A and B are shown apart, each in its own frame.
Chain A
Amino acid sequence: MTRSCKAYIAGVYEHPTRKATDKTLTQLHAEVAIGALKDAGLTMKDVDGYFCDSTVPGLGGLVMAEYLGLDLSYIDTTETGGSSYLVHVGHAMRAIAEGKCNVALITLAGRPRAEGLTSLPARDTGNDAPERGFELSYGPAVTNLYAMAAMRHMYEFGTTSEQLAWIKVAASHHAQHNEHAMLRDVVTVEDVVNSPLIADPLHRLDCCVISDGGGALVVVSPEIAKTLGDRNVKILGQGEAVKHLNGGKIDLTYTGAVKSGPSAFSEANLKPSDMDYASIYDSFTITVLETIEDLGFCEKGQGGKFVSDGNLISGVGKLPFNTDGGGLCNNHPSNRGGMTKVIEAVRQLRGEAHPAVQVPNCELALAHGTGGQISQRHGSATLILGRNDA
């Protein structure tokens, strides 16, 4: 069938660097922008909408717009951490539908490794942040925040470390085929559970890589898409949500995907079982497990069983996921993995993923981003995408 859509993703680009010692931050943003526009068959002169998060220097997107020489009629600098780019895609689709822009450029870049970051410290939100005095002194270090979500999930549903490990195992099976992936060795469940405990119950191999780099997307109107050939990907639905600590009434066993997922599926008039492929944000294995449940791929609490025995491995399981190796093995530029989630979903729908992991006849795909901490405040955003002829 041919589904209608309000906008298309026409161009994507993932920066090949994983350690950008010899590049500036603005240069990285510019290189991914140029790459995505070239992929789309467009130029910087065609761009009239620009979307970015706080990884760009200066006030909002103003500095980057100047650096790139953009002439804009629309700008959106929504910041929801690693989910920002999936939020941007939805906002770009709506801005295009309202006629406020026709070619939207979305960029992400960062160089935490070049700056010497080897582990993720607590995010200091500054003196004016009301929660700061009640959190920072206790040593929230990202890993232990996600670990508490895992610990609670294990307590309530009997989820095991071995089940979480299957998520990493699947990612590693995919990453072996990606020449740019930071971790290309295939690992076993035993390898994961025998790797050092970083923050109980998460092991080193439950954690994503730290990498430099970035990526960019170009979202265009249907009229422009028509002029660009058949590699465009339809944006069929998008949903976003924010989850927080709710005044101290907490539940760490679910994420904002419980809202962003249904919102996106509803807009697309599709359901989880329709998806041929899924890119799921994977800062940690627990992030994937909770998100898969929240998006409705299985019942709440059954995620451990669902991800086991290779069910996420392309060609083996029912839900091939993160076929580039994801944040767990490939790339997590600027500690924000939402961008690369969209890029790999687009590759799958174009049939341009690595042949060893390409899902045959991939027509419908999901991409999901999570930003911030799932055990504190975070943004969630879900995209439902379709092949050009979907």
Chain B
Amino acid sequence: MSREERVYADPSMNMENEEYWKATKQGKLILKKCDDCGETHFFPRIICPHCQSSNTSWYEASGKGRIYSYSVVRRAPIPYAIAYVTLDEGVSMLTNLVDCDFDDLAVDKEVEVTFRDTEGGEKLPMFRPV
């Protein structure tokens, strides 16, 4: 289980997503939903991609989801697993799978959010098997 940790680059931020990164720094995963059409979207933006309303607001996600798909890059200097996780809230996000045996990963496996520090002290949401 224990392996050398990768160095994660800082995420780029802007006015549309700084709240998201403030929340991850406090160990919270938040999502954006549209108050007009009710749809949650990812990645978060000010204008809803489904109905173009700018009446969007943040809410805290359950942090639970399932692996939609994944791939292990075994030949990287430090092997890692990239994945799309479909959150219980219905949206899928690109992420990494951590705290796991890569050979035990499977599509549809239940996972929960955890966080990893970036090189500049930000926190990236990642997922581990429940």
Binding site for B on A (CB under 8 A): 127-128, 130-141, 143-145, 147-149, 151-152, 155, 196-202, 245-250, 252, 375
When C-beta atoms are compared, the residue in chain A nearest to B91 turns out to be A248
Known interface pairs A130-B45, A151-B107. Does A200 touch B8 (Cβ–Cβ under 8 Å)?
A: no
When C-beta atoms are compared, the residue in chain A nearest to B87 turns out to be A248
Q: How large is the interface on B (under 10, 10 to 19, 20 to 34, 35 or more residues)?
A: 35 or more
The residues of B that contact A148 with a CB separation of less than 8 Å are: 69-71, 82-84
Contact A196 B43 (CB under 8 A): no
Contact A155 B82 (CB under 8 A): no
Known contacts A133-B14, A198-B73, A252-B68; 10 further A-B pairs (Cβ under 8 A)? A134-B94, A138-B124, A139-B80, A151-B107, A199-B72, A200-B74, A247-B39, A248-B91, A248-B92, A250-B68
Q: How far is the CA of A198 from the CA of B93 in the complex (A)?
A: 22
A and B contact pairs by CB, cutoff 8 A, 9 listed: A137-B10, A139-B73, A144-B73, A196-B75, A248-B41, A249-B90, A250-B84, A252-B68, A252-B84
When C-beta atoms are compared, the residue in chain A nearest to B89 turns out to be A248
Contact B94 A247 (CB under 8 A): no
- Is B22 in contact with chain A by the CB < 8 A criterion? no
Contact A134 B11 (CB under 8 A): yes
When C-beta atoms are compared, the residue in chain A nearest to B122 turns out to be A137
The residues of A that contact B73 with a CB separation of less than 8 Å are: 139, 141, 143-144, 198-199
Q: How far is the CA of A201 from the CA of B8 in the complex (A)?
A: 24
Q: How far is the CA of A199 from the CA of B73 in the complex (A)?
A: 5
Q: How far is the CA of A255 from the CA of B95 in the complex (A)?
A: 21
Binding site for A on B (CB under 8 A): 6, 8-14, 16-17, 21, 39-43, 45, 48-50, 68-76, 80, 82-84, 86, 90-96, 107-108, 118, 124
The residues of A that contact B75 with a CB separation of less than 8 Å are: 196-198
Contact A200 B94 (CB under 8 A): no
Q: How far is the CA of A143 from the CA of B76 in the complex (A)?
A: 12
Contact A250 B92 (CB under 8 A): yes
Known interface pairs A148-B84, A246-B49. Does A137 touch B70 (Cβ–Cβ under 8 Å)?
A: no
Q: How far is the CA of A250 from the CA of B41 in the complex (A)?
A: 11
Contact B16 A130 (CB under 8 A): yes
When C-beta atoms are compared, the residue in chain A nearest to B41 turns out to be A247
When C-beta atoms are compared, the residue in chain B nearest to A197 turns out to be B74
Contact B96 A249 (CB under 8 A): no
Contact B68 A152 (CB under 8 A): yes
Known interface pairs A149-B69, A252-B69. Does A137 touch B43 (Cβ–Cβ under 8 Å)?
A: no
Q: How far is the CA of A375 from the CA of B83 in the complex (A)?
A: 11
Contact B118 A137 (CB under 8 A): yes
* Closest 3 A/B residue pairs (Cβ): A248-B91, A248-B42, A133-B11
Contact B69 A152 (CB under 8 A): yes
Q: How far is the CA of A198 from the CA of B95 in the complex (A)?
A: 19
Known interface pairs A133-B11, A247-B42. Does A138 touch B74 (Cβ–Cβ under 8 Å)?
A: no
B68 to chain A, nearest CB (A): 7
Other-chain contact of A249, B71, B80, B91 (Cβ < 8 Å): B91
The residues of B that contact A141 with a CB separation of less than 8 Å are: 73, 76, 82
When C-beta atoms are compared, the residue in chain A nearest to B74 turns out to be A197
Contact B49 A247 (CB under 8 A): yes
Other-chain contact of A138, B10, B48, B72, B94 (Cβ < 8 Å): B94
B73 to chain A, nearest CB (A): 5
The residues of A that contact B12 with a CB separation of less than 8 Å are: 127, 132-133, 136
Other-chain contact of A151, B50, B71, B86 (Cβ < 8 Å): B71
When C-beta atoms are compared, the residue in chain A nearest to B124 turns out to be A137
B33 to chain A, nearest CB (A): 11
The winner among A131, A149, A200 for most chain B CB atoms within 10 A is A200
Contact B43 A248 (CB under 8 A): yes
The residues of B that contact A133 with a CB separation of less than 8 Å are: 11-14, 17, 21, 43
Q: How far is the CA of A136 from the CA of B12 in the complex (A)?
A: 9
Contact B108 A138 (CB under 8 A): no
The winner among A127, A138, A147 for most chain B CB atoms within 10 A is A138
Q: How far is the CA of A68 from the CA of B6 in the complex (A)?
A: 47
The residues of B that contact A139 with a CB separation of less than 8 Å are: 6, 73, 76, 80, 82, 96
The residues of A that contact B42 with a CB separation of less than 8 Å are: 134, 245, 247-248
B74 to chain A, nearest CB (A): 6
The residues of A that contact B84 with a CB separation of less than 8 Å are: 148, 250, 252, 375
Q: How far is the CA of A202 from the CA of B68 in the complex (A)?
A: 17
When C-beta atoms are compared, the residue in chain A nearest to B92 turns out to be A250
The residues of A that contact B71 with a CB separation of less than 8 Å are: 143-145, 147-148, 151, 199-202
Q: How far is the CA of A139 from the CA of B77 in the complex (A)?
A: 12
Known interface pairs A138-B95, A140-B94, A144-B73. Does A152 touch B107 (Cβ–Cβ under 8 Å)?
A: yes
Q: How far is the CA of A282 from the CA of B40 in the complex (A)?
A: 34
Q: How far is the CA of A151 from the CA of B105 in the complex (A)?
A: 12
The residues of A that contact B11 with a CB separation of less than 8 Å are: 132-134, 136-137
